[in-house]
A and B are shown apart, each in its own frame.
Chain A
Amino acid sequence: MNALVAVPALIWVTVLVVVGGLALLRGQDVLQRLIALDLLAVLVVALLALLSYLRDVPHYLDAAVALALLSLVATVATARYLATGGPLE
C-alpha cells in the first residue's frame, strides 16, 4: 500500500489509541471499562494491520488475529465472572 495513505492512517489510529486510553480511565462502572478495553483491543488490531500493509509483511496479521482471539476470551470470561457476582456468591 502507498505510504502516503498508510502513514497518516497509522498516526490517526495511534491518536485513537491514546483517546481510547482516556475513555478507559473515564469509565464509571467496571462494565464500561470493559467496553473501553474491548475497543482498545480492536484499535490495536487495526494498528497491526496497518503496519502489515505499510511494511508488506503478512506476519503482523498473525499477531492481530491472535490478539483478537485473546481479547474475545478475556471479554467473555470477565463478563461471565461479573454476571454471576464473583466467587463469593
Chain B
Amino acid sequence: MISVVLDVVGGLLLVIGLGLMTIALIGVLRMPGTYSKLHAQSLATGPGVCCVLASSVATENAGTISYAAVGIVFTVLTAPVASHAIARAARRRGAEAEPR
C-alpha cells in the first residue's frame, strides 16, 4: 500500500520537475535580454531540481533519500546566490532592463 503511494508521489514529483526544467529551457531559448533569461533559468535551478531530487522517495532506499535531502538543502541555499551574482554582474555591465 505505502509502496504504491510512494511510487505515485515520486512519479508526480518527477513529472513536475521535468516540466519545470522544460519550461525553463524554452524560456532561456526564447526570452530576449539577460534579465528575462535569468528569470526563466531560476525556475530550473530552484524548484525544478528540488522536485527531481524529492522524487527519490519512490526508490525507498535510505541512502538515496539522505543524499537527495542533502542535495535539496544545498540547492535551496545556493541557487539564489548564483542568480544574485549574475544579476549584479548584468547591472554592473549596464544591461538594459527592457528587452531588445
Instruction: Please give the residue numbers on chain A whose beta carbons come within 8 Å of chain B beta carbons, in ascending order.
Output: 1-2, 5, 9, 12-13, 16, 19-20, 22-23, 26, 29, 31-32, 34-36, 38-39, 42-43, 45-46, 49-50, 52-53, 56, 58, 61-62, 64-65, 68-69, 71-72, 75-76, 79-80, 82-85
The interface size bin for chain B is 35 or more
Q: Which of B45, B58, B64 contacts A61 (CB 8 A)?
A: B64
> How many inter-chain residue pairs (CB < 8 Å) link A and B?
145
A61 to chain B, nearest CB (A): 4
When C-beta atoms are compared, the residue in chain A nearest to B45 turns out to be A42
Instruction: Please give the residue numbers on chain B whose beta carbons come within 8 Å of chain A beta carbons, in ascending order.
Output: 7, 10-11, 14, 17-18, 21-22, 24-25, 28-29, 34, 37-38, 41, 44-45, 48-49, 52-53, 55-56, 58-59, 61, 63-64, 66-68, 70-71, 74-75, 78, 81-82, 85-86, 88-90, 92-93, 95
